[in-house]
């Protein structure tokens, strides 16, 4: 999978896409799957519910947000790859977080979900129609 050109994505995503550099996108996603998984597993349990300030997300909620975003972006990619260009609803991350159960789950459970979801998404990405 090649890095998209600026005219192929909204300006909002530029900062994220620039982080890829010239690396192969699929290789980066695959290696990031493992790095992210092991990073969150390396954190001590007492840090899982840490938030740096009142009203900010905990470590578990941050990982939950990563999971939600991964799921949303893969859904959008699936739609675009199938030629569905209808208007997509927005994604309010704070609303989604407030309706989740991320706080009650273990960090290990969330890390497992992230890893499984990323693995499933890698299959999606690897098998996209080249068009």
Residue 8 lies in a domain: no
pLDDT digits (tens, 9 = 90+) for 105-123: 999 999 999 999 999 999 9
Q: Global pTM?
A: 0.89
Q: Is the dihedral of CA 65, 70, 73, 79 positive or negative?
A: negative
Q: How many residues does the chain have?
A: 131
Return left, alpha or beta for 51; rule: phi > 0 is left, psi -120 to 50 is alpha, else beta.
beta
Residue 63 lies in a domain: yes
Total domains in the fold of the chain:
1
What pLDDT does residue 49 have?
96
CATH number for the domain spanning 118: value is: 1.20.120.450
pLDDT digits (tens, 9 = 90+) for 83-92: 999 999 989 9
Q: What DSSP string runs through 31-58?
A: HHHHHHHHHHHHS-GGGTT--SSTTSPP
Residue 12 lies in a domain: no
Residue 103 lies in a domain: yes
Residue 61 lies in a domain: yes
Q: Which residues constitute the domain of residue 78?
A: 23-126
Residue 89 lies in a domain: yes
């Amino acid at each position: 999978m090649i890095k998209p050109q600026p005219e192929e994505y909204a300006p909002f995503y530029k900062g994220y896409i620039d982080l890829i550099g010239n690396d192969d996108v699929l290789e980066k996603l695959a290696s990031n799957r493992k790095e992210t998984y092991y990073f969150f597993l390396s954190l001590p349990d007492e840090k899982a519910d840490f938030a740096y300030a009142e009203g900010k997300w905990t470590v578990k909620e941050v990982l939950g947000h990563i999971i939600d975003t991964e799921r949303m972006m893969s859904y959008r990619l699936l739609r675009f790859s199938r030629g569905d260009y209808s208007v997509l609803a927005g994604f309010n991350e704070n609303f989604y977080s407030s309706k989740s159960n991320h706080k009650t789950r273990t960090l290990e459970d969330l890390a497992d979900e992230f890893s499984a979801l990323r693995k499933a998404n890698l299959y999606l990405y690897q098998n996209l129609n080249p068009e």
